[in-house]
A and B are shown apart, each in its own frame.
Chain A
Amino acid sequence: MPAVSMTVNGKAVSGNVEERTLLVQFLREQLRLTGTHVGCDTSQCGACVIHLDGVSAKSCTLLALQCEGANITTIEGVALSDGKLHPMQEAFREHHGLQCGYCTPGMIMAALDIVRRNGNDLDEHTIREQLDGNICRCTGYHNIVKAIAAGAKNMKGAAA
């Protein structure tokens, strides 16, 4: 089996994978980083969103081998170095932006990319439009949208 190496959450990792191994399988099954979820496996639901070289991507539609040499961030790599929640995570907690929590890792990774693309002052319309690739079957999105708006604002204060 081919070898693959990449940086995941700041740490150099490597392993042997089948060519067809998806990034999400490598993350979950080999690295045991099970925060990244598989909801649909058809690039619709966004539960598997990670950051690939700083940009959000669906890890169910990437081969591990496509990420050779890449820099990956998963939900496990988002919290601050002192162990505190990232402002976006904190905002999801504060605003109860989840019910069952299955979509939450992907929501947070997608939210961070919305901030990267659109800045810290986000209106509701922008958030809803930009959350197009993430599906939540519990909340009706209302509190997720509120959490993202608040998290984005709080990120400005905290030098994350």
Chain B
Amino acid sequence: MYNFTFHRPTTVRQAAGLLSRNPEAKLLAGGHSLLPVMKLRLAQPSALIDLSQVEGIVGVELKGRSISIGAMTRHADVANSPVLKEAMPGLAAVPGSIGDPQVRNRGTIGGSIANNDPNADYPAACLGLGATIITNKRRIAADDFFTGMFSTALEEGEIIVRISFPIAKKAGYEKFKHPASGFALVGVFASKRGSDIRVAVTGAGSNGVFRVPTFEEALKKRFSPKSLEGLTIPAAGMNSDIHATPEYRAHLVGVLARRAVAKAVG
């Protein structure tokens, strides 16, 4: 790991100021993606801005018909949040499936979303629930936020502060875990909130998380795994690596979507 300068702001404003003065800086949240990448010298930031001491960006709250999660909330704290488990257990199950217990004790929702790893779980939950990503500058709909593999709509100097999830009556996540890494080889988040039906897929697409309009249409008639029977998506555009072929990933999208809907209807 190349060396860097290290900063520990206590407010979002200070953090934003540090970012603007250090154009090559990176924000450090849980550090469980960034530090490994720096060890491999795939990233060489000139400065790290540690967000762990920043006030007001931690915690899970019920706000009207939404769940608001502070960007620095650790995976374990989201998974164990009584408020969230009561309001939307389908979302609480997502961070519980990330990595291992030690990773969940450190990793954060804001870090996961900002990194937008193509195999990460939270992007599927955000897109699959129509979440809003709230930064120090604006509110960004999940549909506009994830712009491709490791790429987001975040601009220079922009910091995720909270993520707001509308509470869906029916919500479920199902993933096919890579046995070694725990990452989603494919993961599908399905939800129904009134007439808003969403199916979001992580791990499979060669350009990151995406929605499946054909599945969503089919589920509009009846939100049941049966509505998806026989439906598949084309292998074109699916990711290919030593772990799975595009055809296999496309197959898993169908299987996991049915299971996610089954979970959502409980």
Contact = CB atoms under 8 A, between A and B. Distances in A.
Given A20-B2, A66-B31, A132 B101 contact: yes
A33 interface: no
B103 A43 contact: yes
B101 to A, nearest CB: 6
Interface string A25-60: 000000000000000011100100100100111100
A84 interface: no
Given A41-B39, A65-B50, A66-B52, A19 B5 contact: yes
Interface residues of A, number: 28
Given A19-B4, A133-B101, A61 B35 contact: yes
Contacts, number: 71
B75 to A, nearest CB: 12
Contacts of A19: 3-6, 48
A110 interface: yes
A66 B6 CA distance: 9
| Residue of B4, B100, B101, B102 with highest tally of chain A CB at under 10 A | B102
The residue in B1, B2, B39, B105 that gathers the most chain A C-beta atoms within 10 A of its C-beta is B105
A66 B38 CA distance: 15
Contacts of A66: 28, 31, 50, 52
Interface in B77-127: 99-103, 105-106
B8 interface: yes
A134 B8 CA distance: 30
Interface string B24-61: 00001001100110110000000010101000000000
Interface of B is mostly: mixed
Contacts of A49: 102
A62 interface: yes
Interface residues of B, number: 26
Interface string B223-249: 000000000000000000000000000
Contacts of B101: 56, 110, 113-114, 117, 130, 132-133
A157 interface: no
Interface in A99-150: 110, 113-114, 117, 130, 132-134
B182 interface: yes
A68 B19 CA distance: 21
B103 A133 contact: yes
Contacts of A155: none
A61 B6 contact: no
Interface centre among B4, B6, B31 (most CB of A within 10 A): B6
B6 A55 contact: no
Given A19-B48, A61-B31, A61-B106, A132 B100 contact: yes
A55 B102 CA distance: 8
Given A19-B6, A57-B106, A61-B35, 4 more contacts: A57-B102, A58-B106, A110-B101, A132-B101
Interface of B: 1-6, 8, 28, 31-32, 35-36, 38-39, 48, 50, 52, 76, 99-103, 105-106, 182
Please list the 8 inter-chain residue pairs (A to B) with the smallest Cβ-Cβ separation, ordered nearest first: A133-B100, A132-B100, A19-B6, A133-B102, A20-B1, A58-B102, A20-B3, A55-B105
